[in-house]
Amino acid sequence: MNKQAWIERSAQLGLEGLEIAQTRQTSRSLQWFDHTMDSFTTSRILSTSLRAMANGKIVSTSLEKIEDEDMDEILGQLRDNADRISESEKDVLVGPMECEETISKKTWKPADPARIKEVLASLEDKLLAADSRVSLVNELSFESAEVSSELTNSLGTEVSSAYQYQVIAAQITMRDNGEVYDDYRVEIVYDLDDFDQDAFVKRLVTRVQDQIGAKSLSSRTCKVIFNNEAMSTLFSCLEGMFYGTSIARGISPLCGKVGQKIFSDQITIVDDPRNEDALFLRNYDDEGRPTYTKTVVRDGVFETVLHNTKSALKMDAESTGNGFRSGGGATTVSSMNLYIVSGPNSFDSLLKKMDNGVVISELAGMHAGIDFVSTNFSFQAKGYLVENGRKVRPLTLITVAGNFIDLMNHVEAVGDDLKWDMRSTAAPSILFEEAAVGGNEE
């Protein structure tokens, strides 16, 4: 694609500006099942997104295949689309901006297919031998990807970014006294030769063993710990409350609350696209603006609204470099490496502080179980009962309900176990003064 020719032609056709974003992804996936390779897939994908300004409006399109000979047709469609839309909100393309880039220190060692098959075969044997109750390794796979993107526009902006990852995933089923239990685990693998297979097997098998004998409990209101996985899931469902798009539309519960205390003073929240502990690092957003670290909530006080260019213009503010694209041509506001800052407490100390209560380790029904505007939630959950600071028995067929903002104002202690894994939104374990836990123990 001759990007400069497209930019020059867009001006000749009457467009006021053009932005070209291209993403290249090379990936491979090896699936292993029942002692043999089930599939081996490689893919190379080039996707292109165009954003054009015409009559003061920005229109966009995404294409899987783009050829220079289609230039007039595609640019003409963008110009015509601008005439049809009634959008009146301002938006602009972003010109060149100075930026000192952060370089990721992560190093990845590619593995050849023979070595991948060797490791997966070994993992299958180890999983089946780890406990006589393991009846099936449902899924076992290795996946890797390299992703790079480039953004060029008619104002002279030219920026690029890249990331990669390698992961191993497994799911197992265990049978005990006629009951079936299963769980799934994904782990990042920087170097397959250094991958600790035994530790991976132990973590996955233990997760399933911990479910055996699980049952419900009688409904109660009690102290609750959301462990780091469950807390990250809950937090990710409501991160949109900090977005300028939600606040400008009046659907965020934080409308008009910048500078006000919204959470416990034990809660500090940071958005850091350049966080080197996270898997994904971005020096620029998908509009070409440099990213930077920003404190969204400091000691419970709401400090920063996250903006892309459009929401910033609407609220007479500055973009915070949070304009990201989610598969289509349009960009919207999104966090990148948003996290609740860890506290000083180990998980064991959280259990002791709680004394009696419930640990929530897994949430389900996330889409149907939450009201974004009020932040009321009610989720299916798994976890375990705690008495005298110790785990008593696993729990299943329970629900946990409450109001997120109220919950975050009744924090008893924050854990020190923040983990990123594959997430771009993360939280440590948190002990809350109370939540409603529902069950039907007979």
In a domain, 101, yes or no: no
- What is the mean pLDDT of the segment spanning 341-368? 95
Residue 193 sits in a domain of what CATH number?
3.30.2290.10
**Token pair of 379 as six digits:** 């989720």
pLDDT score at 91:
85
In a domain, 79, yes or no: yes
Amino acid identity of residue 351, one-letter, is: L
Residues 347 and 231 in one domain: yes
Q: Are 331 and 308 in contact (CB under 8 A)?
A: yes
Residues 54 and 130 in one domain: no
Residues 61 and 188 in one domain: no
- pLDDT, the chain, mean: 94
The neighbouring-strand residues paired with 414 are 430
Q: What percent of the chain has pLDDT over 70?
A: 98
In a domain, 9, yes or no: yes
Most confident of 42-56, 207-221, 314-328: 207-221
Residues 168 and 228 in one domain: no
Whether residue 274 has pLDDT greater than 90: yes
Name the pLDDT band for 86 (thresholds 50, 70, 90): low
Region of poorest pLDDT, from 49-58, 121-130, 286-295: 49-58
Whether residue 85 has pLDDT greater than 80: no
Q: How many CA atoms lie within 13 A of 379 on its CB side?
A: 26
> How many independent structural domains does the chain possess?
3
In a domain, 52, yes or no: yes
Long-range contacts (CB closer than 8 Å, 24 or more residues apart) made by 374-381: 374/253, 374/403, 375/238, 375/241, 375/253, 375/403, 375/404, 375/405, 376/401, 376/402, 376/403, 376/404, 377/234, 377/237, 377/401, 377/402, 377/403, 377/404, 379/234, 381/230, 381/437
Residues 11 and 142 in one domain: no
- What is the mean pLDDT of the segment spanning 156-178? 95
pLDDT score at 87:
66
Residues 393 and 429 in one domain: yes
- What is the mean pLDDT of the segment spanning 118-134? 97
Residues 191 and 56 in one domain: no
**Token pair of 317 as six digits:** 């503010």
In a domain, 265, yes or no: no
Residues 124 and 183 in one domain: yes
In a domain, 353, yes or no: yes
Name the pLDDT band for 88 (thresholds 50, 70, 90): low
Residues 22 and 143 in one domain: no
Residues 53 and 200 in one domain: no
Q: Supply the range of the domain harboring residue 387.
A: 218-235+342-440
Most confident of 324-338, 340-354, 364-378: 340-354
Name the pLDDT band for 58 (thresholds 50, 70, 90): confident
- What is the mean pLDDT of the segment spanning 31-42? 95
- What is the mean pLDDT of the segment spanning 67-93? 85
pLDDT digits (tens, 9 = 90+) for 282-299: 999 999 999 999 999 999
Residues 138 and 173 in one domain: yes
Residues 222 and 347 in one domain: yes
In a domain, 119, yes or no: yes
In a domain, 50, yes or no: yes
**Token pair of 95 as six digits:** 């010109």
Conformational region of residue 78, where left means phi above 0, alpha means psi within -120 to 50, and beta covers everything else: alpha
